[in-house]
Structure 1
Amino acid sequence: MTDRIWEYEGYRPAEERLRESLCTLGNGCFATRGALPECAADGTHYPGTYVAGCYNRLTSAVAGRRVENEDLVNLPNWLPLRFRLTGRQWLTPDTATVLAHRQVLRLEAGLLERRTRYGLGGGGTLTVRQQRLVHMADPHLAALRTEFTAEGFTGELEVEAALDGGVRNAGVPRYRDLDGRHLTHVHTGTAVPGTVWLRCRTRTSDIRVGMAARLTAEAPVTDLHEPPRAVQRLTLAVSPGRAATVDKTIALHTSRDPAISDPLQAAVDRVGAAPGFDELLESHLTAWDLLWRRAELEVPGEAGRILRLHLFHVLQTLSPHTADLDVGVPARGLHGEAYRGHVFWDELFVLPYLNLHFPEVSRALLLYRHRRLERARAAARAIGRRGALYPWQSGSDGREETQRLHLNPRSGRWLPDHTHLQRHVGSAVAYNVWQYCEAAGDAEFLHTKGAEMLLQIARFWADSARWDESLKRHRILGVMGPDEYHDAYPGAAWPGIDDNAYTNVTAAWVLTRALEALRALPEPRRRELAERTGLDAGELEQWEAVSRTLHVPFHDGVVSQFEGYGDLAELDWDGYRKRYDDLRRLDRILESEGDTVNRYKASKQADVLMLGYLFSPAELPSLFARLGHRLEEDTWRRTVDYYLGRTSHGSTLSGLVHGWILARARRAEAWAFCQEALRGDIADLQGGTTGEGVHLGAMAGTLDLVQRGLTGLETRAGALWLDPVPLPELSSSGYGFALRYQGHWGVRLRLEHALLEIAVPSSDRLPIDVRLPGRAVCVQPGETARLVLPG
């Protein structure tokens, strides 16, 4: 296996769901799982096609209650293409003899290849070779080429291709008690000989879907209609030594697409105008080559190979085509149905990478949040607050999509879900606004939509803070932190915990940045914004006060995850490790035993330590100082050690954050956590979850670990700040990447041993100011700076 391909040898039914997710092909507008075209959805296989932002809402009866959920819709399956010898059963790996099977994902080409050799009995074999693409240049096209080669026999092969509208959302076992039939009004027809179409619509969101398929072969094609399927059949003559080829080209449109009238007519027109497979492949390869150039990454060894796979899936979910859409960052990509395709806070881990390569995509993802600002303000008003309250889970229109019940598969019980109390999403949105504007130099966005979001998020935090006379500090009560385990105090009658350190510190940061942004606005714009929002000097004084007095609890010489954390019981970690092989979902284990994780000092993932992920070692102490606390290096080191021993790492983000923090602290165990972050999806470390969709935040986060974490790269005050840390597993061989910074395209950074090289391509842009500890350099366009690092 090279660093440019991802390969699977042999057919293993138990691994199919994982392979299907990791072999998904997409272009930022839609994606299709890497399922075998001859296999229907069953316990082994799950074909799925998902369009970015295509949601539908259904109500189901669960545990005696009516529960409403919005899902990313599994759209009609365009893959079906099955085959058999005349008069015999259809050939699939589950029903026929498989002599050889190989699946190859070509990352540089965005191409999925498979080769299967079926044994037919009597010494005859049939080799099936397929190439599949979801077009990166034209985001509404996909194509499948199938070649059949006979050995040891001559005969006829029946081939059936279809567009299947009889699909449902059934890719996540714990959701199967919920209604998953999102499509209705499925109709099929023939456009011209050899081309069929399918149209349908979603049941409640009323999104119209049009799909058309063109089948090309050296045999006449017969069109049949077996609603909800549009079927095409042909008979091929096969003989030894000669491959018979069938090409299937499809077009997909929805009524959410710009610049079309009717999605069905648009699909029919597009597939009719599409060139043949070879020409489609050529333009597809060109588009991918341009993407790889903009996202150049040079990391040696196994780590580099996995990072390229991660980059591939990030680009397939969030490509330059995404910049034209009204979509957010789906936590599980466009690769499956876990989390119902919802948008959480994963953009916090994704945008810092995109900012320095595809800033136009970052801007579009922030516009998704801005368009839902009024919905966020309505959510704040609903709980008696001013400002904007962004939801923990978002979908089509920005309302809170977090389910009120969730299933514990271990106990079989449906339990209350309080994760909507994770109100720190607003801080993540504000952080992303600030980071994007610093990296892209987009003053126009900061002065307009960015300032509007910062203002309303800051207003929410200021209005949420309650003055505690005994503490002489402001407090934020009744929330949940990123940990996700603790949703209430032991024995409490209501959910929520108080003064989550991550929530309070990031709220103080938001208030500070909002004040800074307002001061930097041109005076006419500042006056306009103040008049539109009712902002006055008294409110700004309140923000200043709250930003300096939010309570941050401590216990035993460390930062407390929340007020009262130090009073919780210690968990018998060794005892539980002896009883259970995997403690990642410790909350489910304890609930199945009639206990609750709320009683214990145990975290699912980084919570307090997220502060060390967001803020540099120089910035974090200054944040605490503004709040009236001294965060000494020794205090932070003790805090890291304290939570490191009390975390179950039940999220793929946990290894990433811990690896980042430990690398910055120059700790030997950093690489073990980095490896866990790298292997999270490819090894399915969460136990079956990758088959339901990749973990996009963790994938993008590993890329950013190389880009910012190990280099100490920051974009602030109009300069690139660098403070590299040695990670022997990478530094010894060196690593490098290209980035886009404030209008400079293709700035290249490379680190090897103690040498840092920065190359700025020729342009008419201003030089780049580079700041390192104790010195500053100015790199002119067309120049390369080589700097020896201390130590």
Structure 2
Amino acid sequence: MADVSGPTSFEFGLEPTTDPAWFLVDRRCDPLRQSSRETRFAISNGFLGVRGSQALNPGAGTGIQPHTYVAGLFDTSSAEGSLPGLVHVADWLQVRILLRGCSLAHHADELSLHRLTLDMRRGAFLTECGQPNAPPLGVRLRTLRLVSLHQRALGLQMVELEIEDPEIEVEFEASFEGLSTGLVSERLEQDLAVWRTERSGKRLAIAASSSLQMDGQELTPEAKGPFRWVWNWTSKRGQIACFQRIVAIRRSDRADLDPGPEARGTLEYARHLGWRDVLSNHEAAWARRWRDSDVEIEGDADAQQALRFAIYQLNSAANPDDEHVSIGARGLTGDDYRGHVFWDTEIFLLPFYSLTWPEAARTLLMYRFFTLDAARKKAARMGWRGALYAWESADTGDETTPEQVIGPDRKVIEVWSGRQEQHISADVAYAVWQYWQASGDVGFFLAAGAEILLETGRFWASRAQPEADGYCHIRGVIGPDEYHENIDDNAFTNVMARWNIRQALDVVALLRARWPERWSQLASHLGLSDMEMTEWRTTADTIATGLNPETGIFEQFAGFFSLEDINLADYAGRSVPMDVVLGRERTQRSQVVKQADVVALLCLLPEEFHGQSAGDNFHYYESRCGHGSSLSRSMHGLTAARLGYCDMALQFFQQTAAIDLADTHVAIAGGVHIASQGGIWLMAVFGFAGLSLLTDGIAINPQLPKAWLSLCFRVQWRGQCLKIKLEQANGLVECWLEAGEPISLVVRGQRHELHVSRPLHLVTRPAAKPDQGLESKNAS
């Protein structure tokens, strides 16, 4: 785990915070871990993302260049078959310091003090370092950087330089790096640059200002150039040089719209405020987000820090002001997957936003609405009706999954996900319905949500084909378990498809009853008829699900039970995924599962499992899961917690947290695993707190780990804010309705009405926990 020994003291006007759970601290300066460190200390606001590069000479000796990302700034290279990806923009953080003509380097062997701090409470990255040896001077350097949560176009950099020895000639240079990388330059001035993408028709503008003060007096730069400022002075003992740089970055999705004036106007606004107010507004915005989304744990410091890191990442990743972007699999923290959007957003992230930040949830779903035409075109190309969303999506919603990749053995591997991993349409529909259930957002439902549900339901009704056995089958797909390709009747896909069709039919009934005029418009626009509705109902009633009525076990896909059964306990301690251990061919012929599949169905549609079948399905598939995906353990942890296997659930919680907080996962250099961070919140709130959404309220069924003395969190339900606190002792449940009309709250199966003026205090008896000592045999 990251260092949690507590914060250091910085200037820059930050109020001191002593709780170590709000901080990540790293004192090491290992060049071999620089890329993973840059991921862990990245900052973002949903529009801008900046990796946590070191303060000086960020790429020196490593071959790594610091990256800034702009959400939605996708382009495709001129290479044949290339796919769109996020474009790196110019690095605006470059600082070079010369003392007596020698560069103040930033290498581990030259530092007496080195500390990186991610202040999660305020969304700021700070560094502190000292260098007494080369040159032989007493030097102390402090830096701060942030991208504003209040005004997302703004970035702020602060540097404090203190030199103990007097009479030292100092040169301080601030510049940009990569002004001509990845984009075509249109205009380059002292404080403003405008670029365009080569092929996607987008434009970008950056405006910047820099200043340096000594003893409260601003120094005039002695040299200037495009985005370059140089100051020279002779130091005095105890004198502190204070540098500040503000950048304003604007994106335009229209080739004929110049974002330069908007960038310059935003910069002038920030300069008028001054850096202190920019910082203060940013802190206030973060305070509001933490007020609505924090989760507090007593009794487990590591779990508390893991949750804070997860919530920090989730709050950093969304931008409720831009309905044309979504959240990629690594957010804005790294290059993996080229910024592409997967089912991760709808299944692992949307619950957090729907219940703590509905404005962000709505925006993310509007992205799916604006890409609905691309989903319709994909379905039509493949011979079906309705909307089939891209497995990997960028800005337009077109399919961006590569068709081939190079495997570990350097052989070319065909990638079928873009054609066969079709459950994405049901996943989007699930998120739409969950948001509608949680928010009651009529405007969204009528303008966008209903159409998404109808068109995804229509897709599944055309995709599931009737056959001679009397059932409708969905053949040639990939479920969440990507080890098995081109399979038939994947249980997760088919049951989610049935749910999607039935929800679409419920939408029809709801529109006819409450908004008949809107139903007439949609029916005409989409060409929906009563005959088609009847076909949908028949299809839903006859989809093959793989459920064995005698055992209650779902067969993951047709023929799964006849595959080789491999005991994963024999491979405990492995350091590579099971498909590498066994080889792709043997893995495909085995019951080894890459990630939660039937278990994912348990998470999303628990009502499909009755009585003992939930536990039976969980145990059968948990023992066969190799967890070859970072998404897997959180699904297992959520389900284990709901079933009362709290020790096992906590183990999955800890392993999920370790993916990004520890250096045990080889893929962190490519960015934070944002779905895993969403999964951590899900395990706490939907798992250990047992929260579920009802048609008329909220239910909780707490199952806290033994070490957790209490769990406290807030959720929003249809404009009403609830605070819920669960205590281990006596099963105490306390609930406050902080705003809104009375709400129905079900606690361990008992219904209560919660009022603003009457908090709920219950001493309950938790359900018997089936096996607190149960551990995963396969969670290595």
TM-score normalised by L of structure 2:
0.89
Alpha-carbon distance in structure 1 between the residues aligned to 2:234 and 2:257: 42
Please give the residue correspondences for 1:175-186 in structure 2 after superposition, counting only pairs within 5 Å: 182-185=182-185
- Counterparts in 2 of 1:38 and 1:123: CA distance versus 1, 3 Å: closer
Output one character per residue of 1:237-266: Cα deviation in whole Å (capped at 9) or x when no partner. Answer: 3233221111111111121499x9632232
Alpha-carbon distance in structure 2 between the residues aligned to 1:705 and 1:548: 32
**2:622 is the counterpart of 1:644:** yes
1:620 aligned partner, one-letter code = E
2:96 aligned partner, one-letter code = R
Give 1:527's aligned residue.
520
Alpha-carbon distance in structure 1 between the residues aligned to 2:565 and 2:674: 33
- Counterparts in 2 of 1:90 and 1:727: CA distance versus 1, 3 Å: closer
Alpha-carbon distance in structure 2 between the residues aligned to 1:539 and 1:202: 44
Q: How far 1:186 moved relative to its partner? A: 5.8
Output one character per residue of 1:243-302: Cα deviation in whole Å (capped at 9) or x when no partner. Answer: 1111111111121499x9632232233223323322322222122112211213212321
Output one character per residue of 1:216-250: Cα deviation in whole Å (capped at 9) or x when no partner. Answer: 1143214544xxx7322112332332211111111
2:189 aligned partner, one-letter code = G
Alpha-carbon distance in structure 1 between the residues aligned to 2:162 and 2:525: 70
Give 2:774's aligned residue.
none
Please give the residue correspondences for 1:266-345 in structure 2 after superposition, counting only pairs within 5 Å: 266-274=262-270, 275-300=273-298, 301-318=301-318, 321-345=319-343
**2:636 is the counterpart of 1:658:** yes
- Counterparts in 2 of 1:774 and 1:273: CA distance versus 1, 3 Å: closer
Give 1:76's aligned residue.
90
Give 2:497's aligned residue.
507
1:126 aligned partner, one-letter code = V
Q: How far 1:729 moved relative to its partner? A: 3.0
Alpha-carbon distance in structure 1 between the residues aligned to 2:115 and 2:411: 41
- Between 338-347 and 285-294, the greater mean CA deviation after superposition: 285-294
**2:740 is the counterpart of 1:744:** no
**2:117 is the counterpart of 1:101:** no
Preserved contact between residue 96 and residue 103 of structure 2 (Cα < 8 Å)? no
- Counterparts in 2 of 1:269 and 1:120: CA distance versus 1, 3 Å: farther
Structure 1, unpaired ranges of 5+? 61-65, 169-181, 191-195, 488-495, 622-630
Please give the residue correspondences for 1:40-119 in structure 2 after superposition, counting only pairs within 5 Å: 40-41=58-59, 43=62, 45-60=64-79, 66-93=80-107, 97-119=110-132
Alpha-carbon distance in structure 2 between the residues aligned to 1:772 and 1:528: 41
Q: Percent same amino acid among aligned pairs?
A: 28
Give 1:254's aligned residue.
251
- Counterparts in 2 of 1:167 and 1:699: CA distance versus 1, 3 Å: farther
Output one character per residue of 1:613-654: Cα deviation in whole Å (capped at 9) or x when no partner. Answer: 1123xx123xxxxxxxxx551x33232222222211122211
Please give the residue correspondences for 1:610-625 in structure 2 after superposition, counting only pairs within 5 Å: 610-616=600-606, 619-621=607-609
Alpha-carbon distance in structure 1 between the residues aligned to 2:305 and 2:63: 28
Give 1:419's aligned residue.
417
Preserved contact between residue 136 and residue 287 of structure 1 (Cα < 8 Å)? yes
Aligned match for 2:195, one of 195, 200, 203: 200
SS at match of 2:616: helix
Please give the residue correspondences for 1:230-245 in structure 2 after superposition, counting only pairs within 5 Å: 230-245=227-242
Output one character per residue of 1:703-746: Cα deviation in whole Å (capped at 9) or x when no partner. Answer: 1222222222222222112222233232xx11111122111135
Preserved contact between residue 151 and residue 240 of structure 1 (Cα < 8 Å)? yes
Structure 2, unpaired ranges of 5+? 5-19, 214-218, 767-780
Alpha-carbon distance in structure 2 between the residues aligned to 1:418 and 1:68: 17
Aligned match for 1:599, one of 589, 609, 614: 589
Alpha-carbon distance in structure 2 between the residues aligned to 1:224 and 1:588: 54
Which consecutive aligned stretches of 4+ in structure 1 deviate over 6 angstroms post-superposition?
none
- Counterparts in 2 of 1:673 and 1:529: CA distance versus 1, 3 Å: same
- Between 768-777 and 206-215, the greater mean CA deviation after superposition: 768-777
SS at match of 1:778: strand
2:499 aligned partner, one-letter code = W
1:586 aligned partner, one-letter code = M
Give 1:370's aligned residue.
369
**2:530 is the counterpart of 1:537:** yes
Preserved contact between residue 39 and residue 671 of structure 2 (Cα < 8 Å)? yes
Alpha-carbon distance in structure 2 between the residues aligned to 1:143 and 1:21: 19
Give 1:721's aligned residue.
699
Q: How far 1:773 moved relative to its partner? A: 4.2
- Counterparts in 2 of 1:183 and 1:560: CA distance versus 1, 3 Å: same
Preserved contact between residue 59 and residue 69 of structure 1 (Cα < 8 Å)? no
SS at match of 1:233: strand
- Counterparts in 2 of 1:643 and 1:716: CA distance versus 1, 3 Å: same
Give 2:745's aligned residue.
770
- Between 282-291 and 520-529, the greater mean CA deviation after superposition: 520-529
Output one character per residue of 1:327-357: Cα deviation in whole Å (capped at 9) or x when no partner. Answer: 1121111101111100000121111111111
SS at match of 2:475: coil
**2:683 is the counterpart of 1:690:** no
Preserved contact between residue 638 and residue 682 of structure 2 (Cα < 8 Å)? no
Aligned match for 1:586, one of 556, 578, 587: 578
SS at match of 2:598: coil
Preserved contact between residue 29 and residue 322 of structure 1 (Cα < 8 Å)? no
- Counterparts in 2 of 1:125 and 1:670: CA distance versus 1, 3 Å: same
1:116 aligned partner, one-letter code = C
Q: How far 1:384 moved relative to its partner? A: 0.8
1:136 aligned partner, one-letter code = L
SS at match of 1:209: strand
SS at match of 1:330: coil
Give 2:653's aligned residue.
674
- Counterparts in 2 of 1:243 and 1:716: CA distance versus 1, 3 Å: same
SS at match of 2:541: helix
Give 1:461's aligned residue.
460
SS at match of 2:211: strand
SS at match of 2:477: coil
TM-score normalised by L of structure 1:
0.88
Give 2:34's aligned residue.
16
Output one character per residue of 1:657-707: Cα deviation in whole Å (capped at 9) or x when no partner. Answer: 1111111111232211111112221114431x1121111111022112222
Preserved contact between residue 714 and residue 721 of structure 1 (Cα < 8 Å)? yes
Alpha-carbon distance in structure 1 between the residues aligned to 2:233 and 2:605: 63
Alpha-carbon distance in structure 2 between the residues aligned to 1:678 and 1:467: 44
SS at match of 1:322: coil
SS at match of 2:360: helix
Alpha-carbon distance in structure 1 between the residues aligned to 2:135 and 2:343: 58
Q: How far 1:468 moved relative to its partner? A: 2.3
Alpha-carbon distance in structure 1 between the residues aligned to 2:126 and 2:205: 27
Give 1:221's aligned residue.
221
Alpha-carbon distance in structure 2 between the residues aligned to 1:749 and 1:56: 47
Alpha-carbon distance in structure 2 between the residues aligned to 1:186 and 1:154: 44
Preserved contact between residue 183 and residue 195 of structure 2 (Cα < 8 Å)? yes
2:433 aligned partner, one-letter code = W
Preserved contact between residue 215 and residue 221 of structure 1 (Cα < 8 Å)? no
Preserved contact between residue 342 and residue 393 of structure 1 (Cα < 8 Å)? yes
Preserved contact between residue 678 and residue 699 of structure 1 (Cα < 8 Å)? yes
- Between 114-123 and 347-356, the greater mean CA deviation after superposition: 114-123
Give 1:491's aligned residue.
none
SS at match of 1:285: helix
Q: How far 1:749 moved relative to its partner? A: 4.2
What value does the CA root-mean-square deviation take over the aligned residues? 2.3
Preserved contact between residue 14 and residue 44 of structure 1 (Cα < 8 Å)? no
**2:466 is the counterpart of 1:473:** no
Give 1:32's aligned residue.
50
Alpha-carbon distance in structure 1 between the residues aligned to 2:27 and 2:180: 29
